Amino acid sequence: MEENGRIVKRPRFKAWAVAAAFVVAIGYGEGLVRWLYPYNTPDTMRQFSLPLVPAVYARHLLQQLDRIVEVSGEKAWGVVGNNAATGQVYFINRYGYRGPSFQLPKPTGLKRIVVLGGSTVFDRDALEGKDWPHLVQTILKEKGDANVEVINAGIPGQTTADILGQLFAEIWLWEPDYVLVYEAWNDIKYFGDLSYEKPLIRLIPPLNPDADPFKTYQGSVDYLLSYSQLYIKMRNKYFAWKYPLGPEGVLLNKEPKKEPGPFGIVQYRHNLELLVDASRNIHAVPILLTQATLVAPGNMEEDRKKIAYGYVGLTHEGLVKTLDMCRQAVVEVGSRKNIAVLDLARELNGRRELFSDHNHTTEQGSQEIAKRVADFLAPILKANSHT
């Protein structure tokens, strides 16, 4: 309108101008985000993550697929250099385990070795076919044992309790001749929380896929807004702040302790004993391996930066002590139950060239473990073939 010969802008026009500027800024920001960062949504996070499903006798299992699965941090999260594995390809077989499918029932004359554990057995950083359990098979065949088969039954996140569930509820059907157990780290995550009020069965809930906000839309409004990559990036930032994550899940947000608690190591020892007994009950030879790790008393600062203390809630000294307690438990159970034990922890702990973080192996580390396990198994297989 006009006042005293000059034009005065209406307040409504100012509001429209501000709104238009806001829309332009949002549009510019949306275009910039789409140009600078890979596309992602909760759907891509599910698509490019390991396909875990809840289970009754274990916290989770892998889906039975019989196909290649790509796990990519860049494609899942829409950022480069995220903690999640980037560009890894795994073949998940029709039984829900890493590697080629195997015959059931077991062929006559075949010596079947099943390796149980978490992500260190799954060997998450290894190329397909180069995970250390399958390298063990390759080495044993090169040594002349043509009728040997090694199954990688490792599932990321599994504890010895989960492994026990796998063994009595599924793996006995595979008719294994040998059962190898290689796990400690995932158990230690729960050592400090075990108590009379929170025994293991009440402490660890089964996997709930819908509880992960990164992979699940939080209602219809969240779904509609997720068409915007600008919104998605802000959404990811918010949930990453609320639920600090690493490759193995949510990091503990509490003061690290020097002691693991009184119940954890006892539970761990019980689980090992039950695993040995269950293996024998299905007519398999149990073999225990102590878990090798980067963690050692003399770790330099460079090494300590690779160790995820936030998963276990322990100081470096507390973690060294706890891992040694686990190692001793494995050795003691082996002695008491009169079974073979391969002490990889004593032989390999602290060798930085073998580990990409606290316990996941580099290519050299996978080869080193495979060689030592194969050399350990070869005379056992030979001796048992004559009995």
Residue-wise pLDDT for 15-50, tens only, equals 777 778 777 788 888 888 888 888 889 998 888 889
Q: Could you report the per-residue pLDDT of 131-145, keeping only the tens digit for each?
A: 999 999 999 999 999
Number of H helices and E strands in the chain, helices first, is 15, 13
| Overall average pLDDT of the 192-209 stretch | 92
Q: Which of 217, 335, 222, 224 is nearest to 276 (CA)?
A: 335
Average pLDDT over residues 318-329: 97
Q: Where are the domains of the chain?
A: 2-36, 113-203+254-385
Query: Is residue 84 scored above 60 in pLDDT?
Result: no
The CATH code that applies to domain 113-203+254-385 is 3.40.50.1110
- Whether this prediction's pTM lies above 0.85 is answered by yes
Q: Measured over all CA atoms, what is the biggest interatomic distance in the chain, rounded to whole angstroms? A: 113
DSSP string, 186-253: HHHTTGGG--SSS-HHHHSPPP-GGG-TTTS--SHHHHHHTT-HHHHHHHHHHHHHHS-EETTEEPP-
Give the residue from 54, 77, 42 showing the smallest Cα distance to 246.
Answer: 77
Report the pLDDT value the prediction gives residue 81, as an integer from 0 to 100.
44
Average pLDDT value over all residues in the chain: 90
- The least confident of 34-38, 124-128, 140-144, 267-271 is 34-38
